[in-house]
Amino acid sequence: METTDEALDAATVDAYLARLGMAGRVPATYETLVALVGRHTAAIPFENIDVFRRQPIVLGARRAADKIIRRRQGGFRFELNEALRALLVALGYGVRRLEARVWSEPDARFGAPFDHLALAVRLPEGEYLVDVGFGDNNRRPLRLPTDETTDISGTYRLRAEEDALLVLERLSDIGAPRPLYRLSLESHPLAAFAAMCSFHQSDPASIFMRGLVCTRPTADGRVTLTHDRWIEVASGKRREQPIPATADLDQLLQRHFGVPVR
């Protein structure tokens, strides 16, 4: 498994930007970062297709970028953020990997270390939390260490805890905020995430081993294919329906997420 930093060549950078609907080289500014994050989440789905099909995921930026560009897929936690990290570095941004522990609703606690990979992106204005690999979180960068942003999916807050830890949470009009994950601001090499990347594609305890998941945000909500259900959220209204056992999953992935039929 590749666990070293990998650079993207110029042709890959251009193809990656084209996948995001951006032409030519772009300046490494806050405005560009906002555009990159927004376009990335909208164009490239969060999915576990390779895990579902028992195709090994090799951790590394070039393989993840190839999957996004050539195979026209997306990826999960480690893949999407590592590919974006390499793209941002190629564009001139300073980027660090952060480890996060994802909140488990059934267990009412945060999970194992290195359960998730997020990014800290450095700009003259400060450092920002960037994450395109979680599935359903904020669509704009959040300034570290504390910030708040609102989009069509809701309001997200980054708050400080003890021991230099931060918590990303989603606010609600009813009830307490829902934690998404806890992270520290310490930098980590890619190799530190290798064990959890393997766990999530091989251990029955991983949520990614329970069935196919594919999701992406839309202008007014989100569309999700999860296990045996189709979920669509639009303008705050949720519509959910079962997927028949006879349904062609490849056709659904192509129609709603742009993933080519195999």
Question: In this structure, are residues 16 and 24 in contact, taking their beta carbons and an 8 Å threshold?
Answer: no
Would you say residue 63 has pLDDT above 50? yes
pLDDT tens column, 164-194:
799 999 997 777 899 999 999 999 999 999 9
Where along the chain do its domains lie? 10-257
Task: In whole angstroms, give the CA distance from residue 88 to residue 27.
Answer: 10
Mean pLDDT computed over 76-88: 96
Q: Is 55 exposed, middle or buried (0-12, 13-18, 19+ CB in 10 A)?
A: exposed
Q: 254: which residues sit within 8 A by CB, 6+ positions away?
A: 260, 261
Task: In whole angstroms, give the CA distance from residue 46 to residue 57.
Answer: 14
Task: In whole angstroms, give the CA distance from residue 177 to residue 169.
Answer: 6
This prediction has a pTM of 0.94
pLDDT at 223: 93
Task: In whole angstroms, give the CA distance from residue 250 to residue 221.
Answer: 23
Strand partners, 94: 122
* In this structure, CATH architecture of domain 10-257: 2-Layer Sandwich (3.30)
Question: In this structure, are residues 136 and 238 in contact, taking their beta carbons and an 8 Å threshold?
Answer: no
pLDDT tens column, 226-241:
988 999 998 888 999 9
Three-state helix/strand/coil letters over 47-82? ECHHHHCCCCCCCCHHHHHHHHHCCCCCECHHHHHH
Handedness of CA 130, 67, 218, 243 (dihedral sign): negative
pLDDT at 1: 47
